[in-house]
Amino acid sequence: MGTAILAIAAFAVLFAAVDGRADDKLVGTWKLVSASSTTSSGERSEPPYGPNPSGFLTYTGDGRVSALISYAGRKPLSFGAETPAQQAEQAEAFKTFLAYAGRYTLAGDKVNHHIEISSIQNFVGKDLVRTVKFQGDQIVLTTPPTPVNGKIQIIELIWQRLPAGS
């Protein structure tokens, strides 16, 4: 019996190492600290999610990722009979919130988010690759040059690790 348990434990460690999760420093929940963007020529652009966005990013030990980013100052939606004003509110609510989830892989300084569901349907089935830099209890995720609002931009997101159970 003891040998079987030892064999199962050894297999679990081996599987985690092969799967890339044994020493995965990404695992946990992260809170958005800041978001900034620069043009491909290095000029600062408008913040990609407005001033003072909020967000959470979660990486699980079984290779799942979920991301939620909200612009600051979002307004509550009106309820009742649908009107053109409510349609405009809904469009604004959609425009000011990003959510996606899927699987991820970490290889060297690159994390690849394999998107399975997203508030932006165009992301589904795509891979979002980010350069990741670990700085103590923070990570910095940087996009490759990406078209945003008609300009090619590089987006940098700084995330703070949340303590377990918080």
Task: For residue 161, list its beta bridge partners.
Answer: 30
Q: Is residue 15 part of a domain?
A: no
pLDDT confidence of residue 23: 56
Q: Is residue 149 part of a domain?
A: yes
CATH of the domain at 114: 2.40.128.280
| Number of domains the chain is built from | 1
Q: Is residue 5 part of a domain?
A: no
Whether pTM exceeds 0.75: yes
Distance, in Å, from the CA atom of 47 to the CA atom of 37, rounded to the nearest integer, reads: 6
Q: Which residue has the higher pLDDT, 21 or 96?
A: 96
For residue 73, is it left (φ>0), alpha (ψ between -120 and 50) or beta? Answer: left
Distance, in Å, from the CA atom of 74 to the CA atom of 59, rounded to the nearest integer, reads: 26
Q: Is residue 139 part of a domain?
A: yes
pLDDT tens, residue by residue, 94-150: 999 999 999 999 999 999 999 999 999 999 999 999 999 999 999 999 999 988 778
